Chains A and B, each alone.
Chain A
Amino acid sequence: MKKIRQRKTKQPAAAYMVSAAMLLLALWLGVSVGSVKIPFQVLVNPEADEVAANILWNIRMPRVVLAGLVGGSLALAGAAFQGLLKNPLADPYTLGVSSGASVGAVATLFFGIGLFGAYTLSIFSMAGAMAVLLLVIGFARAVDRSLKMETIILTGVIFGSFLGSVLSLMIALTGEELRQIISWLLGSVSMRGWKYVWMILPFLLIGGLLLWLCRRELNAMLFGEERAHHLGVDVRKRKWMILGGGSILTGSAVAVSGTIGFVGLVVPHMTRILWGSDHRHLLPLSFINGASLLVLCDLVARTIISPTELPVGVITSFIGAPVFAFIFYRQRRKGAARHA
């Protein structure tokens, strides 16, 4: 919030080029590295090695693409939440929004709801995300009108813990069948297949579009809601769009991959440090880099103690928690210095 640097964003082309190159590299590493090495020529000429091509297109590729879409969605949501709340520690995970989405998703399984066909899980997940987001912000605002950084995060932790218990309760009550949910909850993109890619894609487009339409308004809201109002922003409408967009992105990501923490915290933060906090570029760049990060994290998760796979959420938390601590430390030190 305070110490986030602002470089010239006059030449954003370089930022996009670097990010895109990193994404391509991550994608290639993601599909090629593993117990079976996939040579590059298989990509262009599937006939060369039928087995490798099969692994590439039916196992590795959907997994890598899903990881990229989930990572991008979470990073995009995180960037939007941070901008709206002017809080560098906000992300779907720290706000408890991911937990809300999980409860929504697990509830559909628990109660066997099938209202919207293949999209039921995603839609209930999004509803859970939105409900918790509104509760967290409403509660934090009731506690302290200025919505201090710590208040929001603490509220997120309270709601997250509570929802965690609700999840545990539901799992305990269902018995054996939902045991698999536990590994799902830890966050994973393995063994999902193309079906899951199609499950997340439409919501990613809708949520992403909602946020993209608010890119300039997010810039204005960095100066506070009152200032944004004076600059001509319809603050109420835009807030709903941003909260809605963020919830859709979070909910649909959680529905396909479970709770993967800190991607939405780390990626926008790094992007801002490197290329500034102009949301016209911050949003797309966060998406691209979020995708790269999760693809790489997933690669590490499935290779580091091969043949056993770690849930990817373990890896992101391993990176994310120290970054969280670092941002928190720096914000507080700066705040203390300012009030001294």
Chain B
Amino acid sequence: MLRVKELTGGYGATPVVRSVSFEVEAGTMLGILGPNGSGKSTLLKMLSGLLPADSGKVEIGGRSIAEYSRKAFARQVAVLPQLQADTFSQTAYQTVALGRYPHQTGLFAGWSDADERAVQKAMDRMGVTKYRDTEIEFMSGGERQRVFVAQALAQEAPVLLLDEPTNHLDIAHQQQLLDTVRRQATENGLTVVSVFHDVNLASLYCDRLLLMDRGEVAAIGTPDEVVDERKMERVYAARVRAGMHPEVPKPQITLLPAKEPEDRQEIIRKANFSVSREYVHLNSRIPLMAVSSAVFGAGAGWYRHFVNRKVDADYSTDDAGTEMRDWLDESGFPLTQTVAMMTAAMTEDAVIGEYGPPDAPIFICVTAGVGNAVDASLGTDRDAYAGTINTWVIVNGHLPEEALIQGMITATEAKAKAMQTEHVLDPLTGTVATGTSTDSLLIAATQRGIRYPYAGTVTELGKAIGRGVFECTAEAIRRYRKRKANLERESR
């Protein structure tokens, strides 16, 4: 357990660290963040006893660090430095064994079994046992850093201090190192304090964060309290966006590059759409931010190619995603920049409507087959039939995430209304259908130009989407029925 009270100090007359207080519980990890020169490394030097405090104190295990002898202190606190410059070469084993120095007291202290066990355990834990007799100078940066972690672990100190431990390491080694350190805290109850350069790594691995600004504590708390857009922008003086990690409930920040002058000419026009017997294709020169329930490229992402592919009514495959991927690849679409849906309806019957402001229009593109129309409200069991309504909403404008979601709601409601108006019935229940069982929806925006904060049904954008989806869906259903009627007449 580490407790810091009103700690002030530095190198000269003006203190670099001013009146810093915090506590770290055993088994938890505190990350110290801050811009260059904010005093975070100086603070760590004071915690490790390298730099005496002008005032205030640091307590470890309830005792002030000034009361410990050098060796006794090293039995309480192990420090992992930044990646070392090379020196006279030592083998990995010799390096790790030095971690036992503070435990060898007395004039003729020898190497005990406990020492040997601690070294073995530390080396095993860091996976460096196989390098036992290798000189560390011949190791890669990542391996060498692991040897130094093992050295620190061999000290068997309850407190571990780290100074930007992942500097100069590649991402795999960063992950390995921090996973290990994290485990030391969680499983062995170590108190860990680490200076971080990388806000996202700190947020991901630490229980609590301390944000330093010009020698003082700017914020202290859990990662979601500290990794906040406004706090980060103020302290680091950088433009950032904060968001959530995709798999772990920890905030992450993203740098926003300086904005390039926007190319006003770059908007999506009707000419970007092409329709053939095989597919409907929207080709954009700039990537669009898209959210969709497509077969390929589903979810959120930036894409330049949007494909709605016609498949036969008896199309069947075990893995539609892979089949679609192969087809896209063969057809020459760049896989990383393409979203693709599929439909059994005739792509030639696709309806493409243009709405909203003429200089930055909103496009709605719908293909419809209602062979297996469903009244969703009844949730009846049924066999799947061919037939799908695929809807694209393409916006020349800037939409935040909430507007994208509102846009999807509006589009879905408009589609249901079109089903009702066209009187499409669920063949099983005889009630009015709300859609088909395999409908897909995509909403994409250029994320430049007009800002649309919302896309609810009463907003400008919402109105355009609502009316557009309704009209286009209704028209697509009529075209589908007409073609079906013609087919039936011919076959008769």
Contacts and interface: CB of A to CB of B under 8 A. Distances in A.
Nearest to B101: A231
A165 interface: no
**Interface size bracket, B side:** 20 to 34
B87 A223 contact: yes
Interface residues of A, number: 32
B89 interface: yes
Interface of A is mostly: loop
Interface string A274-296: 00111000000000000000000
Contacts of B95: 223
Interface string B67-78: 001110111011
Interface in A155-199: none
A307 interface: no
Interface stretch (A5-13, A42-50, A240-248, A254-262): A5-13
Interface string A293-316: 000000000000000000000000
B73 A232 contact: yes
A226 interface: yes
A9 B50 CA distance: 32
A82 B88 CA distance: 9
A5 B135 contact: yes
Contacts of A233: 70, 101
B94 interface: yes
A232 B89 contact: no
Contacts of B98: 216, 219-220, 223, 231
Given A8-B133, A232-B70, A232-B73, A277 B81 contact: no
Given A2-B137, A9-B94, A231 B102 contact: yes
B74 A224 contact: no
A1 B133 contact: no
A6 B86 CA distance: 13
A219 B95 CA distance: 9
Interface string A209-231: 00001001101101110110111
Interface in B131-148: 133, 135, 137
Nearest to B95: A223
B14 interface: no
Contacts of A6: 89-91, 94, 135
Given A1-B88, A9-B94, A226 B50 contact: yes
B12 to A, nearest CB: 15
A157 to B, nearest CB: 23
Interface string B24-55: 00000000000000000000000011100000
B89 A4 contact: yes
Contacts of A234: 69-71
A5 B89 contact: yes
B84 interface: yes
A278 B89 CA distance: 9
Contacts of A226: 50, 81
Contacts of B133: 8, 10
Contacts of B274: none
B436 interface: no
Contacts of A222: 87-88, 90
A223 B137 CA distance: 12
A89 to B, nearest CB: 13
Interface string A44-86: 0000000000000000000000000000000000000011001
Given A5-B135, A219-B98, A230 B78 contact: yes
Contacts of A219: 90, 94, 98
B135 A224 contact: no
A4 B137 CA distance: 9
Contact of B90 (A213, A216, A230, A278): A278
Contact of A230 (B79, B87, B135): B79
Contact of B87 (A1, A231, A272): A1
A222 to B, nearest CB: 5
A88 B88 CA distance: 9
A86 B87 contact: yes
Contact of B88 (A4, A216, A230, A232): A4
Given A231-B102, A232-B73, A277 B48 contact: no
Nearest to B50: A229
B74 A232 contact: yes
Contacts of B85: 224
A292 B55 CA distance: 56
A272 B71 CA distance: 28
Nearest to A88: B88
Interface in A81-110: 82-83, 86, 88
Contacts of B94: 6, 9, 219, 276, 278
Nearest to B72: A232
Nearest to B91: A6
Nearest to A217: B101
Nearest to B107: A213
B468 interface: no
Contacts of A230: 48, 50, 74, 77-79, 81
Nearest to B133: A8
A234 B50 CA distance: 11
B104 interface: yes
Contacts of A272: 88
B256 to A, nearest CB: 35
Contacts of A217: 101
Contacts of B78: 230
B99 interface: yes
A8 B86 contact: no
A52 to B, nearest CB: 44
A81 to B, nearest CB: 13
A216 B104 CA distance: 10
Contact of A232 (B50, B90, B101, B135): B101
Nearest to B71: A232
B367 interface: no
B102 A232 contact: yes
Interface string B84-123: 1111111100110011011010010000000000000000
A223 B88 CA distance: 8
Contact of A223 (B70, B73, B77, B84): B84
Contacts of A229: 48-50, 70
28 contacts: A1-B88, A2-B86, A4-B89, A6-B90, A6-B135, A8-B91, A9-B91, A10-B133, A82-B88, A216-B101, A216-B104, A219-B90, A219-B98, A220-B98, A222-B90, A223-B98, A226-B81, A227-B84, A229-B49, A229-B50, A229-B70, A230-B74, A230-B79, A231-B99, A232-B75, A276-B94, A277-B89, A277-B90
Given A219-B90, A219-B98, A230-B74, 9 more contacts: A5-B135, A6-B89, A223-B95, A224-B85, A226-B50, A229-B70, A230-B77, A232-B75, A272-B88
Q: Which 5 A-B pairs have the closest CB atoms?
A: A232-B74, A232-B102, A230-B79, A6-B135, A232-B71
